[in-house]
């Protein structure tokens, strides 16, 4: 009986891993082919989990937002500048019509993930008041700062905040240096 139990212990974990892998592949495939199958909230949760222990700049935007046009080049720049230190940008589009967001992104390409939230559920959850709005999430997963609007003259202030949070330790360890 004990030997049967040992055999089952050896067989079950690999079977479990294969099943989990297949499920994960199907979920990823569903995300890539039909993003409406995975809610915007779940997409954000997955994106944040993928960046656990990193500093994340979450930006809410819409195609009609004039300041958003100014923020996209800067977000691309900071994504590249600080990525090696454990920094990522995630954007959330609030257009009801995804075609409008797609047209915006042709002119203002994003070098970071874009999550479509046409019903504004994520924005309501975070009590977003205007466009663009952003949140800076620290390595510990908590919201460290919030901004409404985007102002070129405040870029040094935004970047100073990012650098301060990148310098913080996570679980007592320096990260991204």
* Residue 4 within a domain: no
User: Is the residue at 5 inside a domain?
Assistant: no
Domain of 115, CATH number, reads 3.40.30.10
Query: Do the domain assignments include residue 82?
Result: yes
93: Cβ–Cβ under 8 A, 6 or more apart, which residues? 61, 62, 63, 101, 114, 115, 116, 117
Q: What local confidence, expressed as pLDDT, does residue 37 receive?
A: 56
Q: Does a structural domain hold residue 31?
A: no
**Residue 111 lies inside a defined structural domain of this protein:** yes
Q: What range does the domain containing 163 cover?
A: 51-167
Q: Which pLDDT score, from 0 to 100, does residue 36 have?
A: 52
Query: Is 177 among the domain residues?
Result: no
- 72 within some domain: yes
Closest to 165 (Cα-Cα) out of 66, 9, 51: 51
71 Cβ neighbours under 8 A, 6+ residues apart = 59, 61, 132, 150
Query: At 55, which helix (H) or strand (E)?
Result: strand 55-61
**Is 174 or 82 the better-scoring residue by pLDDT?**
82
Task: State the total domains in the chain.
Answer: 1
On whether residue 39 sits in a domain, the answer given is: no
Each residue's pLDDT tens digit, 105-146: 999 999 999 999 999 999 999 999 999 999 999 999 999 999
pLDDT at 122: 94
Q: What is the pTM of this model?
A: 0.75
* pLDDT at 77 (0 to 100): 97
The pLDDT tens digits of the residues spanning 29-64 come to: 334 445 455 788 899 999 999 999 999 999 999 999
Share of residues in the chain with pLDDT > 70 (%): 75
């Amino acid at each position: 009986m004990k030997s049967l139990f040992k055999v089952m212990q050896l067989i079950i974990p690999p079977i479990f891993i294969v099943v989990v892998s297949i499920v994960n592949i199907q979920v990823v495939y569903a995300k890539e082919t039909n993003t409406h199958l995975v809610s915007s909230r779940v997409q954000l949760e997955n994106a944040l989990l993928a960046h656990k222990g990193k500093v994340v700049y979450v930006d809410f935007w819409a195609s009609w937002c004039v300041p958003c046009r100014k923020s996209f080049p800067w977000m691309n720049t900071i994504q590249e500048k600080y990525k090696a230190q454990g920094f990522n940008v995630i954007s959330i589009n609030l257009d009801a019509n995804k075609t409008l967001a797609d047209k915006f992104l042709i002119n203002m390409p994003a070098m970071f993930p874009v999550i479509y939230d046409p019903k504004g559920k994520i924005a309501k959850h975070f009590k977003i008041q205007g466009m663009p709005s952003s949140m800076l999430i620290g390595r510990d997963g908590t919201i460290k700062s919030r901004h409404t609007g985007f102002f070129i003259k405040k870029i040094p202030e935004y970047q100073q905040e990012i650098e301060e949070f990148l310098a913080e330790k996570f679980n007592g360890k320096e990260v991204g240096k």
